[in-house]
């Protein structure tokens, strides 16, 4: 008759220790990963606003006025801005008073996807959800 301790395999206690260690690692890794993903998505909003600002300055140099648009399609028609097909942001530009507009505020609104709202104006003043800076 063989001793039960000589049989190969893992005990239930050893398996539970492994499960506990994996749970602790997942508890640390998943929030960190989600933070990296959100930061990557935010970069799209910042890059898009920088692109809009560049196109607005080109339009101002040619026409001596800034263009406005409430949607990405309107911005494409006005200044040639093309949003990415799977963008997480809605884009808009509000120009200053009627006539020759010497100011604009561009907005990248990601609030529908759990992302912040970024704004950028003609003086390169940046805000994130109303607070200064990005």
Q: Note down pLDDT in tens along the chain; length 134 residues.
A: 556 666 778 899 999 999 999 999 999 999 999 989 888 888 888 999 999 899 989 988 998 888 888 777 888 888 888 888 888 888 888 887 766 677 888 888 888 888 889 998 888 888 888 666 67
- C-alpha closest to that of 134 among 115, 114, 119, 122: 119
Answer whether 100's CB lies under 8 Å from 83's CB.
Answer: no
Answer whether 81's CB lies under 8 Å from 52's CB.
Answer: yes
Give the start-to-end residue ranges of the domains of the chain: 10-132
Beta-ladder partners of 109? 90, 117
In whole angstroms, what is the distance from residue 117 CA to residue 110 CA?
6
- C-alpha closest to that of 49 among 123, 118, 125: 118
């Amino acid at each position: 008759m063989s001793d039960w301790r000589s049989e190969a395999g893992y005990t239930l206690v050893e398996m539970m220790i492994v499960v506990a260690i994996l749970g602790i690692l997942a508890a640390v890794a998943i929030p960190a990963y989600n933070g990296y993903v959100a930061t990557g998505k935010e970069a799209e909003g910042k890059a898009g606003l920088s692109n809009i600002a560049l196109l607005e300055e080109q339009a101002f140099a040619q026409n001596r006025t800034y263009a406005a648009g409430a949607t990405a399609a309107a911005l494409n028609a006005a200044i040639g801005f093309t949003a990415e097909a799977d963008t997480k942001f809605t884009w808009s530009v509000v120009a200053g008073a009627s006539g020759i507009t010497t100011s604009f505020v561009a907005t990248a609104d990601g609030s529908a996807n759990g992302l912040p709202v970024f704004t950028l104006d003609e003086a390169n003043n940046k805000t994130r959800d109303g607070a200064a800076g990005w």
